[in-house]
Amino acid sequence: QSALTQPASVSGSPGQSITISCTGTSSDVGSYNLVSWYQQHPGKAPKLMIYEGSKRPSGVSNRFSGSKSGNTASLTISGLQAEDEADYYCCSYAGSVVFGGGTKLTVL
């Protein structure tokens, strides 16, 4: 399976909203509502932020939201904060598992 396509980098100012896209195919993102999103700070393990496309685990801020349209999933972070600066990865499950290449979020 090919990796999901994410932008290499996005940036935003504190308080703004940003959206990270994750494009797959009709065989993975498009077929199942099983996209998850992970936040990874340097030197740390990833952290689950969104699962099953749009659900938030307990303890994750409601500033993080997920959606999907066709073969593209999206992660939106509203009210950007300095601590949101990190790498973000999408993941799709369709029997096998595929990750996106990752997006570096810079908070200006």
Partner 1 sequence: QVQLVESGGGLVKPGGSLRLSCAASGFTFSDYYMSWIRQAPGKGLEWVSYISSSSSYTNYADSVKGRFTISRDNAKNSLYLQMNSLRAEDTAVYYCASGAGSGYWIWGQGTLVTVSS
What type of residue is 55?
Answer: K
76-to-26, 44, 55, 91 alpha-carbon distances in Å = 22, 22, 13, 15
Q: How far is the CB of 16 from partner 1 (least distance, A)?
A: 25
Q: How far is the CB of 70 from partner 1 (least distance, A)?
A: 20
Give the containing element (helix H, strand E) for 77: strand 72-77
45 binds partner 1 (CB under 8 A): yes
Q: Which of 14, 15, 79, 101: binder of partner 1 (CB under 8 A)?
A: 101
- Return the range that interacts with partner 1 (CB under 8 A); candidates 15-23, 30-38, 62-70, 71-79: 30-38
